[in-house]
Chains A and B, each alone.
Chain A
């Protein structure tokens, strides 16, 4: 058979790989010292309590060891990471004021177009700082706040003080401590009681500077009976040095409120993605996580839902695609901490070219959480014999009156299905792509349309190199 010999790394990742010149207004030294942190804090003109918070986090970071489980993190050398890169612009409320080169990048990523067509607000971060933020006027009138974290610290200091890193405290693990010390950028969203934000808000995080870290902080509060859909996108061009992403997301879903948090993560293959996301859900509230992980060299990502009010609900829908040289260790954690809480976990992973896709998750039911239920379904598809897939689910159930369903399937792409499609005139490459798209379809349809299309393109790009 004629075989196409494209090597995956040589595939043009098109828009993602646009490398802009490493222009910046300010860039910290490599590594991590008290001076660097004081410098970042000074540049941000922060209140003293935040400076103290950073310094305390640094101490915690220094005192903590690396995780003793999960993927190998040897590629990460903190002494070589630049923790703060301030782009050569201030934050703007109008794209025409954003420097051309940066604006072009976001243009190619489709952000202003999406803003125009289907978003109620947009935040765009370039390296360490947010360069653009906007929100529709009618939302502002209803009291919705959507801004970058720096502005939030200054203008909504009381709220930030009350919530910032309270759900994910710096001593949670080493990279959260690091985050507490060097966090920069990110978005703050506040939806007042009863306000329904029917059109999504989207923040996009773009990392351009080689060897840098990105540490954005996203804090969302959805008050009683309110509703929000938030979309987060991330990407970076590929460099030969290791980059680090250690963002932190804290979501507060109050009584009867609902929040859908969609992420498409498409970092380049030199990125260590060690991200922490957590939601706390009050009585009858709902958190929905939609999570697509395609990029990075190593990912450790386990969004966590703490169902703390009676009847609180969490739904996690995740897909990951691990290609050559990638280890995507992802999953979700749920804590049922109140009666009548429910969770649904539905994940799919695809691995090829020696990539490793691991589902790692845990469901915990506390002793008072009677009549809770959890349904877990994990499916993986390996496209060849050299790829790896694993399912590591942990259950910790302290109450007998609960219903737990668990199903895990690990499979290989079916040669007979490929042959069947080829007998219809479809090429081997396209047949594989169709099967993989089909596998991902139930998840893809949960993604915002533009991202679903993008995901299909990514699958196609990935598979063009997979034969031979």
Chain B
């Protein structure tokens, strides 16, 4: 039998405000695989990630999304998360009045459906904060409020590690980070990764890919995937840009 794929996107068409952003997009991510998506600004990368998570602003006009052998195209966002999808946002929201720890406890409880073991939770969190070189006090701060760009990204990775999804989607996790922060974030991702976990990463730079080796690299332009290959595709784009692919689309 052919591997069914953890995430399967079939002929996906997506509209927002009556404008088609994604058209006929296909993508399969199997268990244990690391996929990278590259593409010029405005290509629809973040849209794709948001649609996988079920953002209410985007309308799927055609096609389907399956996760873990279940059609999730119409599923509520929170349910998708509880099934094991995690999205690290390109620009994480600031939510006043809710601490990072408080939110994580609520989320953990929602996902596992079991009462939290507080001592264990604290211990886990401390371990992860240390690994990310993230000061413990950040767990007690309001969710992303007043965090620098880099701190927001570390906060996303902390959340990913604590919630332990099957598929983590990381939208430009490395954008705007200094070299040390990229390494911290990469350490977090590698700590999380194993043959059971899958990753879908959007990136523009090679730095993160020095630490995390992709199995597949996809090029997304104008709302569809125009090329899929191995790590060499990323290298080529970083060196030569997207011009070649734009021509492919226009021809």
Contacts and interface: CB of A to CB of B under 8 A. Distances in A.
Contact of B56 (A414, A417, A419, A442): A419
A425 B86 CA distance: 9
A423 B56 contact: no
B221 to A, nearest CB: 26
Nearest to B111: A425
Interface string B90-102: 0011011110001
A419 B55 contact: yes
Given A430-B106, A438-B142, A425 B96 contact: no
Interface in B98-133: 98, 102-104, 106-107, 110-111
A5 interface: no
A386 to B, nearest CB: 19
Given A425-B163, A427-B110, A439 B96 contact: yes
Interface residues of A, number: 26
Contacts of A427: 78, 110
Interface residues of B, number: 28
B193 interface: no
Interface string B52-87: 010110000000000000000000111011100011
A419 B80 CA distance: 12
Given A1-B76, A430-B106, A421 B95 contact: yes
Given A434-B103, A438-B142, A423 B97 contact: no
B110 A420 contact: no
B89 interface: yes
A425 B56 CA distance: 15
Contacts of A439: 96-97
Contact of B163 (A415, A424, A431): A424
Which 8 A-B pairs rank lowest in CB-CB distance, beginning with the nearest? A438-B97, A424-B107, A425-B81, A422-B77, A420-B93, A441-B97, A425-B111, A425-B110
Given A421-B106, A427-B110, 18 more contacts: A2-B76, A419-B93, A420-B89, A421-B95, A421-B107, A422-B76, A422-B78, A423-B53, A423-B78, A424-B103, A424-B104, A424-B159, A424-B163, A431-B78, A435-B97, A438-B95, A438-B142, A439-B97
Interface of B: 53, 55-56, 76-78, 80-82, 86-87, 89, 92-93, 95-98, 102-104, 106-107, 110-111, 142, 159, 163
